Each structure stands twice: as structure tokens, then as C-alpha cells.
Chains A and B, each alone.
Chain A
Amino acid sequence: QKEVEQNSGPLSVPEGAIASLNCTYSDRGSQSFFWYRQYSGKSPELIMFIYSNGDKEDGRFTAQLNKASQYVSLLIRDSQPSDSATYLCAVNPQAGTALIFGKGTTLSVSS
């Protein structure tokens, strides 16, 4: 059974701080990894994806991938109250099949 694990949180950070969200996955053959943000009552929206080991930056967001450790993380710099949401980590098992999602980490940014 392919699994994606996330700490459910809540993760609380003050405004302006760096929020660090972590995810591990069980299938060593996984090739692509995704982070989604889901606000309460809304559907998930894609933040970014990463395929290669290392860091990938997009604005205030940085995704980090370590395939040897089967570990993916998302860093949010200069956290804002509007970043308060549930963050979902997802892994692509194979083409044509649905992504495998973790249960999500709830982030709360206090002003």
C-alpha cells in the first residue's frame, strides 16, 4: 500500500516567520511530488510540484525533495495570516492514476 504521511498539526507560526511543512512517502519509485493548499470549505489548489532532488523556489514558497530519504518539504517564508490553510502533500504513483494524498497539515499564522 503506497502511503503519504504528514503531521496533521496544527502548526502555528507568527506572522513573518518561516513555516516548515513535512511529508514522507513509502514508494521509493515515485517520481513527482506536489503541494496543494486547501482553505476551509474550498477545493485544493496546486501550489507547486517538484521532480528533482534539491530545492525549487516559487515566490515565498520553496519545495525540497530528498528521494534517498523519501522526504518532501514545503517552506513558506514571511508567513501571512492568509496562508492559514491545510497543506496537502501528494505523490504521483503512475500516469493516468490519481495522485496519492497525505491527510494534510493545518497551518495557522497568527498576526
Chain B
Amino acid sequence: GAVVSQHPSWVICKSGTSVKIECRSLDFQATTMFWYRQFPKQSLMLMATSNEGSKATYEQGVEKDKFLINHASLTLSTLTVTSAHPEDSSFYICSLKTGGSTDTQYFGPGTRLTVL
């Protein structure tokens, strides 16, 4: 399966600052990546689909100006949480699909964001 890494694994920031989360595909060229958010004891929530070389597609209710996504290469997608507030504190997980006959989805280890 595909190996996905995320950096940082956890981050604490002050309210009003911006935080960038990196998602790397280590052994697969991913034209499409996905970003999820998960609050404690809640289910995964798809935030956006990140397409290499083009604009991301955001799910309904997700503010594109607050959650900036850049998928500049086939192995790197970034999510920037701008002007973070305590309610943005969550577990952010990136993912990719391998396509082809299996078209299986693999997840990164996640980034835990705490906004003070």
C-alpha cells in the first residue's frame, strides 16, 4: 500500500496565527489527495479534495479562505489553517487513493492541532 506522512504530528498555536500542515506521499505519485478533520469521539469529516496543479474542491460548509490547500506536486499537499481559533482545534488527516483496479485509500498519521 501507499505510505503517507504528515508533518507536524502535533502543533499548539495561539489564536489568530496560521498553521501549515504538510502531507507527503512517500512512494506514490498522487494526483488527488483528501483532507479530513475529526473532532474527539466523532466521525471523519471530509473537508476537501486536493488536486495536483489545480484548485482544491471544498465540501459544503468548509471555508476555502480559512483552510488553504496547495497541491503543488504529485507528492506534496499542504493545508494551512489561517487565523486559527480554538474551535479549529481538531485532528487533521490527509489521505490519498491509489487509483487503478484497487483504488484503495490510505491515510497519513494525522496532525493534532490545539489552538489556545
Residues of A within 8 A of B (CB): 32, 34, 36, 41-46, 49, 88, 90, 92, 95-99, 101-104
**Assembled-state Cα–Cα distance A16/B31 (Å):** 43
Query: Which residues from A are CB-within-8-Å of B97?
Result: 95-96, 98-99
Nearest CB in chain B: distance from A68 CB, A: 23
Cβ B43 vs Cβ A43 within 8 A: no
Segment among B66-74, B79-87, B104-112 that sits at the interface with chain A = B104-112
Given contacts A36-B107, A101-B43, 7 further A-B contacts (CB under 8 A): A34-B105, A43-B108, A46-B106, A49-B104, A95-B99, A101-B44, A103-B43
**Assembled-state Cα–Cα distance A5/B102 (Å):** 23
Nearest CB in chain B: distance from A51 CB, A: 9
Cβ B102 vs Cβ A104 within 8 A: no
Nearest CB in chain A: distance from B84 CB, A: 20
Main secondary structure of the interface of B (DSSP, over half): strand
Query: Which residues from B are CB-within-8-Å of A97?
Result: 49
Cβ B43 vs Cβ A46 within 8 A: no
Closest to B110 in A: A43
Cβ A95 vs Cβ B43 within 8 A: no
Query: Which residues from A are CB-within-8-Å of B106?
Result: 46
Query: Which residues from A are CB-within-8-Å of B99?
Result: 95-96
